Amino acid sequence: MDLRIASVRVRPLDAPLRAPFEIAGGALERVRNILVCVRLSDGTIGWGEGAPFKAYDGETQAQALRAAANAAGWLAGFPACRHRLLAEELASRVPCASARAGIEMAGLDAWAMSRGVPLWSYFGGSGTRTSTDITVPIASAETAARLGRAIRRFGVRSLKVKVGRDAESDAERVVAAAASARPKTLILDGNAGYCAGEALKLLRLLARRGIRPDLFEQPAGKDDLDGSAEVARKGGVLVAADEGAACAADVLRLAKARAAQVVNIKFMKCGIRGALETARAARSAGLGLMIGGNVESRLAMVCAAHFAAGFGGFSFVDLDTPLLFAKDPMRGVRLRRGGIYDLSRVRAGIGVSPRHLRERKDSALRGRPQHQKCVGWGRPEPTPYGCSGRRFPERGRFS
């Protein structure tokens, strides 16, 4: 059957956070993402999520909604199996990266559901499990210590701490979180907030306290290749490029300048096909792999977990943001104790769909019965931020 996209629908995906999530560029008070629904010509439905984050990439929910809605018209009739062509068309016609990612994700989920292919297999089949770190945002040292204790109780031994504001206060936060979490792996994330001198000052302050990070993510501005290279050279730490690595061409530029030893892959920067190309470029350049995201629900995070497990070779995994949600809008694969994503029971697609579909009576949106077979994941489990998986009330219909 020549499967084609029959329709694309988009709506806001709003959810409260347990607390504001703050990084060097600003804070997110509430999740304001987009939810994309792609229906194929055989009736199969796929789901995708776009996660704009103004403090990180300058994109807003309004921009993402507008971009995705504009694309919906010309996407009708597009071949469902032409994933590369779809990504190329989106890149040339949709200016908002998070909107492109949500559309690609929904289209790929729908195609994989129709073919009975789990996405970990589509991405390479290297494995079905991956484990994530948990992030401490910019907060007081007291809050960082409390979160560190909760992270340790949750069985996670990989800790990431947001920095990038002020070396002295950032050092206190890192020390407090590390002392209580006692991680095996410690990652710092500057989110392009530092210059090289301030990043090196932070490393010196931590060294005096006996702390040596395993990775320093974006320790200088995204275009400051010399600064990042200086941190790697003088700081004696692996440097990961995040904001500075939005595509495969960026990776080659970073490798040539020796400005990074690891590349953070994110769907919200370059879409799914772009993420594959970026990961392949990093691997061919001899750079290590990390995967992350913006503040995303289980839908986008589990899709990224499929990518990390299936593609393989990811030394650093940062897919913990579903734990930040005060109410969970999704059902399906869940982040388990120890930070584990186990994808082995997913029979097709992502294995996650919007929770409100259990109650929706509109058969045109209720979707794919075969998906129901892989989502009986039991009761919610305690997390470092409380109990996950609480019911999320439906907030309006698709536009």
Q: Give pLDDT tens digits for 101-115.
A: 999 999 999 999 999
> How do residues 341-357 score in pLDDT, each as one tens digit?
999 999 999 999 998 75
Tokens of 55: 């403090």
Under 8 Å CB-to-CB from 97, ≥6 apart: which residues?
57, 59, 246, 268, 269, 270, 271
Under 8 Å CB-to-CB from 343, ≥6 apart: which residues?
118, 120, 128, 129, 302, 305, 306, 309, 333, 351
**Which of the residue ranges 54-58, 72-76, 271-275, 342-346 would you say has the lowest mean pLDDT?**
54-58
Quote the CA–CA distance of 336 and 358 in Å, as a whole number: 23
> Cβ–Cβ contacts within 10 Å for residue 284, how many?
12
pTM for the predicted model, two decimal places: 0.90
Which position has the higher pLDDT, 374 or 303? 303
Q: Which residues pair with 189 in a beta bridge?
A: 162, 217
The beta-strand segments (E) located in 147-275 are 158-162, 185-189, 215-217, 239-241, 262-265
Question: Domains of the chain, with CATH numbers?
Answer: 122-342 (3.20.20.120)
> How do residues 185-217 score in pLDDT, each as one tens digit?
999 999 999 999 999 999 999 999 999 999 999
Quote the CA–CA distance of 26 and 29 in Å, as a whole number: 10
Give yes or no for a contact between 190 and 199, defined as CB atoms under 8 angstroms apart: yes
> Cβ–Cβ contacts within 10 Å for residue 249, how many?
12
Q: Where are the alpha helices (DSSP H) in 11-133?
A: 54-57, 61-75, 83-93, 97-115, 119-122
